[in-house]
Structure 1
Amino acid sequence: MTRVLVVGSINMDLVTSARRLPQLGETLLGEGFATYPGGKGANQAVAAARLGAQVALLGCVGNDAFGRQLLAHLEAEGVDIRRVATVDGSTGIAAITVSGGDNAIVVVPGANHQLTPSHLDAAEQAFAEADVVLTQLEIPLETVRHAALLAQRHGKPLLLNPAPAVALPEALLQSVALLTPNEHEFLTLLAQPDADWRAQLAERPGKLVMTHGKHGAYFALKRGELRHQPGFEVQAVDSTGAGDTFNGALATFLPLGLEEAVRRANAAGALSVTRHGAQGGMPTLAELEAFLGSKA
């Protein structure tokens, strides 16, 4: 059982469905509304837990109804929430519009931006106990840097899902064991918008996996050989949370080697889009194994 420490955001997703995404300045009549647990950190923690990992989450929620609901949900999913702090103010939210298999998202960080390096220092033992540390960019960059420092101090690989995308300092890029951007985030984080992505993959062998939606994922092995893991064909209902499922699965299966971890993560991500909600479609280990068995 892989021990995964997730350092990241916890949100309540407010999801509206419509026949299409609205244009700028346009008001549409929606077709449905629901709330779902979300946040990239919480999503990735739940994804890993459902796939059999032993998961601890380090983050912040507000002292409001959403915060209480989210903590109860995470605990029910088997995530260790002892290091999630409750702070003054509102819990983070994501306002999501879904149409077909596409979505548009606005995130209000709330309590997530109160997660500081001091929170991580107080929970340093969790870094020592983890096999893999997983983080994202919905928390302050200073906190992400500190997570990288603590992971290095304890000799643990840090997986960074650079979303939402920003240009990252080279020192942070060098300290990360594995970067997992999608095709849109890839060149932004490197601050090289016109670069050849294949060349960039080759320059970071074994340290970068680029996801490309239904087309799968691309990465380079440690000897620089480019690999493509094709996507798995499914009927997409809601793509929200597919990337988070991929990352949670990748962290869970990383001890099996990068190629196998990417294959399983790709399959888990594909399964996640077949049901509604960022966490609603995340597969269990049994569901993933059955799916992979059907594709053999």
Structure 2
Amino acid sequence: MNITVVGSTNIDLVYLVPHIVAAGETLHSTKHELFFGGKGANQAVTAGQLGAMVHFIGNVGADDFGEQIKQNLQDKGVNIAAVQNVGITGQAIIQLADSGENSIILFPGANFLVTPEQIEQHAERIVSSEVLLLQLEIPMSAVETAANIASKNGVPIILNPAPAQQISDSLLSKISILTPNETELAILTGMKTETEEELFQACSSLLQKGVGAVVVTLGAKGAYYMNHFEHGYVQANKVVAKDTTGAGDAFNGALAVGLCQRSSIKDSILYASKLSAYVVTQMGAQPAIPSSFRVKS
């Protein structure tokens, strides 16, 4: 299982609060914790812990946080040969409410210094991969460069379109599996996504633009998926959530592992759903994953 992740790394500064702060409100935090994060790093660490050979392409800061992130990636089984130290490490300021819900402010830092030229320098890593995993916390030009390399060489691409923004039809046409949540799907399509019929119509519009399959993550409700042959819901395991930060990233990392295993899309979603259900019962976006989830080689 050879997976390349092109994306972001962050230090997550987590503040536990009774509820998400409202506009104009001052709220005391009951606890502060520091975790490793960044959507790209979260996905890479997940796949690495599940038994994949993972190469990460991206940036960390030329600072102590950057060195800590690189060491953590290595410790979690991720190859960091293509990680550069430049600028200031990206940071996420996270409010975590007693309910388990969160609110996040991102400072991109070194993540926004990832360039198309940097991606091209490591094109061979993408070409030799079984899956390329992308998100949108680095410049779109870098994302598009990675997707172009993968598409020209027949490498399947999973794109997690977060943070939500508009994506060109050219990029969409190269995506094997697109994994938005409901809000991201609505922004991508300009359509409502509240009912099953609305999900069907929104996903259909993306398939018409060349996307191979759409997997919509629905939190506690599970996921809704569609390709050119089937569609339907996959239910989520019921758990008591402590921290939902990184749940979607864990889902994507596990989905990439499932794709490498040549599992059906539904079986891959089931596997990813079980893993993300476990992750929300732990603190932080990169918790240690039990060996029971690890794919047997």
Range of TM-score over shorter length? over 0.9
Q: Is the 8 A contact 1:267 1:288 kept in 2?
A: no
Whole-angstrom CA distance in 1 between matches of 2:126 and 2:27 = 46
Q: Does 1:268 align with 2:275?
A: yes
Q: Measure, in 2, the Cα distance between the counterparts of 1:253 and 1:155.
A: 18
Q: 1:121-155 deviations in whole A, cap 9, x for unaligned?
A: 11011012110000100000111111110101221
Say if 2:242 is the partner of 1:237: yes
* In 2, Cα distance between equivalents of 1:142 and 1:11: 20
How many pairs are equivalent? 284
How big is the shift at 1:206? 4.6
Q: Which secondary structure does the structure 2 equivalent of 1:112 belong to?
A: helix
- In structure 1, the residue matched to 2:119 is 120
TM-score, length basis structure 1? 0.93
Kindly indicate whether the alpha-carbon contact (under 8 Å) linking 2:96 and 2:103 is maintained by their aligned counterparts in 1.
yes
Q: Match of 1:83, as an amino acid?
A: A
Equivalent position of 1:86 in the other structure:
85
Secondary structure at the residue paired with 1:185? helix
Contact 2:185 2:202 survives alignment (8 Å) = no
1:3-22 mapped onto 2 (5 Å cutoff):
3-22=2-21
One-letter amino acid of the counterpart of residue 90, structure 2: G
Q: Cα offset for 1:237?
A: 0.5
Q: Does 1:193 align with 2:197?
A: no
Aligned letter for 2:278?
L
Q: 1:194 to 1:230 in 2, by over 3 A?
A: closer
Q: Does 1:279 align with 2:286?
A: yes
Task: State the one-letter code of the partner of 1:269.
Answer: S
Deviation at 1:283, TM superposition (A): 2.5
C-alpha distance in 1 between matches for 2:116 and 2:35: 28
Q: Within 5 Å, which residues of 2 pair with 1:139-154? A: 139-154=138-153
Are 2:213 and 1:207 equivalent residues in the alignment?
Answer: yes
Q: CA deviation at 1:285?
A: 4.4
CA–CA separation in structure 2 for the residues paired with 1:237 and 1:220: 30
From 249, 258, 264, the equivalent of 1:253 is 258
SS at match of 1:52: coil
CA contact (8 A) 1:4 1:54 kept: yes
Residue in 2 that maps onto 1:293: none
Gaps of 5+ in 1: 290-296
Distance 1:59 1:284 in 2: 27
TM-score (norm 2): 0.92
> Map of 1:96-111 to 2, 5 A cutoff?
96-100=94-98, 101-111=100-110
- Provide structure 2 residue ranges, at least 5 long, that are not aligned to the other structure: none
Aligned-partner Cα distance in 2 for 1:178–1:128? 18
* RMSD of equivalent CA atoms: 1.4
Q: Secondary structure at the match of 1:91?
A: coil
| Aligned-pair CA distance for 1:26 | 1.0
Following the alignment from structure 2 to structure 1, what is the Cα–Cα distance between the partners of residues 167 and 25? 34
Q: Which residue of 2 aligns with 1:44?
A: 43
- Residue pairs, 1:20-59, within 5 angstroms: 20-59=19-58
**Whole-angstrom distance in 2 between the partners of 1:129 and 1:221:** 26
1:231 counterpart SS class: coil
Q: What SS does the corresponding residue of 2:243 show, helix, strand or coil? A: coil
Q: Which amino acid aligns with 2:200?
A: R
Task: Provide the secondary structure at the position in 1 that maps to 2:242.
Answer: coil
1:200-238 superposed Cα distances (whole Å, 9 cap, x missing partner): 324528511101001000112432x32110011111110
**Would the aligned equivalents of 2:192 and 2:202 in 1 still touch at CA under 8 Å?**
no
Structure 2 CA distance, aligned partners of 1:153 and 1:170? 16
Distance in 1 (alpha carbons) for counterparts of 2:13 and 2:192:
35
Instruction: Tell me the amino acid that sits aligned with residue 200 of structure 1.
Output: A
Within a 5 Å distance, the mapping from 1:154-173 to structure 2 comes to 154-173=153-172
Counterpart Cα distance in 2 of 1:60 and 1:278? 18
Taking a change above 3 Å as real, the CA distance of residues 8 and 231 of structure 1, as seen in their structure-2 partners, is: same
Which of 212, 218, 233 lines up with 2:224 in the alignment? 218
Read off the aligned partner of 1:227 and give its amino acid letter. Answer: G
Measured in 1, the distance between the counterparts of 2:172 and 2:146 equals: 13
Shift of 1:288: 6.6
